[in-house]
Every structure is written in C-alpha cells, then in structure tokens.
Structure 1
Amino acid sequence: MPKFSAVRPAILIAAAAALACTGGAPLAAKPRPAQLSAAATRGLAFAQAHCTGCHAITANGTSPNPEAPPWDDVANREGLTARTFAAFLADAHNYPAAMDFTVQHGAIRDLSAYMLTLRKPGYRPTR
C-alpha cells in the first residue's frame, strides 16, 4: 500500500487535470430542472400522450410536423395567458382538421399550466 505522501501528489495531479478540462472552473453540479406544479405535471403527461406526434412540447425542441409550432414558440407569444390559451383549447373549431378532438376542461387547465412553464424572458422563436 502506498504511503500517504505518495498518494497525495496523484490526487493533486488528478484535481489539476479535472480543472484543466473545465477551463479552470470548479466542477459544478448539474442544474436541476424546475419543479412543475401538479397541474403542469398532468399537462405535460397529457401533451406527451396526445400532442407530440405534431408538436415539440419541451423547450428548444423541433416539432415532428414542420407546420406545428413548437410549444415554447407558442408559450412566448405576446398576449398568451392561461386564459387565452384555455379559450383556444376549448374552442375546437380553431384546430386544423388533424387536431379535431375535444380536450376536457381539467386537461385544458393542466395544459395551460404546463404551457406557461415554457415562458422565458428574452425568448426568440425558433422559426
């Protein structure tokens, strides 16, 4: 077993190598994703089950259907609120034919809660 004095330089070399790989900055813990409310969590689950075939429903995503806007683009539109988004979802005649289905009232509230978590100051649309 090596003596303590022989191990210490190896530890210092390893630490220096780790700092060099990070540009001299100490290693930081990964940022934790923001906690979603219960309603927003249900909204995300609904969106994953019903909306991902066309839309990117998470930040910085690309929609599978190029004609379907990513949800962070929608969420960051001027004037969008939980109320205006809920009114859009409740009014099925606004949907293109591919989206012609009814979203129940509870799911509308949940989707609105999730959608608003995608709002970011200074956001710039992807398209």
Structure 2
Amino acid sequence: MRAGKFKVVAAVLASATPLLLHPGSASALEPQAQRGLTFVQTNCAGCHAIGRTGDSPFPEAPPFRTLHERYPVESLAEALAEGITTGHPSMPEFSLDPGKIDDVIAYLKTLER
C-alpha cells in the first residue's frame, strides 16, 4: 500500500474509533462510563435504545437517553442495588453490585449532555 493511501485509511479509522466507543457520539468515554456502556450493551440493548439516537427494540422500553427527563439518574442507584422489579412489563429482575451501579450511572449521565 502506498504511503498516501495508508495515511487516508489511518485517518478514517482514527476518526471512527470514538463512534465505536460511544454510540451516537463523537467523543470517547471516561473508563467508568465505558464500563457502564459495555454493561448496558450486554444486558440492556436487547430491549432499550442505549445510545443518543435510535428506537428501543422493545417499544415499551424507554430509551436510556430519556431517563434523565423522568428523574435524576442517580436515583436509579438504589433500584439497581435492590433489584429493579418495575419498569416495562417484560423487564427481567436483576440487581447490581456497587461498582457496576456506579459504572451504569456514569454512562447514563453521558446521555444527558
């Protein structure tokens, strides 16, 4: 590959990397928020829209970007620790350890911006 083509490919990859880290955003996340994003991608994205755009795959599941419009996301910490039993009707019950809770809250806070 010629040097000029390599530079173009490298520039495209470098500009796309932050988008891979944070759906719908051009900025990279802090480590705690990145861990939260990884958790919600694995455990929540099947039903909820977890990025700055898009519809939730399960229509009754609110997009995470709207949660802060309903209540302060910090108020979710207790529910995440004790086990969320409400939410949408098909939402599974689960509880998180304090570190995971902080990660998820950190990620949700990035959606407020």
TM normalised by structure 2 equals 0.68
For residues 42 and 93 of structure 1, do their structure 2 counterparts lie closer, same or farther at Cα, with a shift above 3 Å needed? closer
Rounded to whole Å, the distance in 2 between the matches of 1:112 and 1:93 is 14
* Count, aligned residues: 89
Amino acid at match of 2:86: Y
Structure (1 or 2) with the greater helix fraction = 2
Partner of 2:76: 85
Name the % identity: 36
How far the C-alpha of 1:64 sits from its partner, in A, is 0.4
Amino acid at match of 1:112: I
Rounded to whole Å, the distance in 2 between the matches of 1:54 and 1:39 is 23
Rounded to whole Å, the distance in 2 between the matches of 1:115 and 1:68 is 15
Rounded to whole Å, the distance in 2 between the matches of 1:45 and 1:58 is 12
For residues 63 and 78 of structure 1, do their structure 2 counterparts lie closer, same or farther at Cα, with a shift above 3 Å needed? closer
- Structure 1 portions without partners, runs of 5+: 1-29, 121-127
**RMSD of aligned C-alpha atoms?**
2.2
Partner of 2:40: 47
**Superposed CA offset, 1:9-53 (max 9, x none):** xxxxxxxxxxxxxxxxxxxxx796222111000000001111011
Rounded to whole Å, the distance in 2 between the matches of 1:93 and 1:41 is 22
Partner of 2:61: 68
5 Å-filtered alignment, 1:29-44, equals 33-44=26-37
How far the C-alpha of 1:86 sits from its partner, in A, is 1.2
Larger Cα Rg: Structure 1 or Structure 2?
Answer: 1
Amino acid at match of 1:109: D
Partner of 1:119: 112
Rounded to whole Å, the distance in 2 between the matches of 1:49 and 1:109 is 16
TM normalised by structure 1 equals 0.61
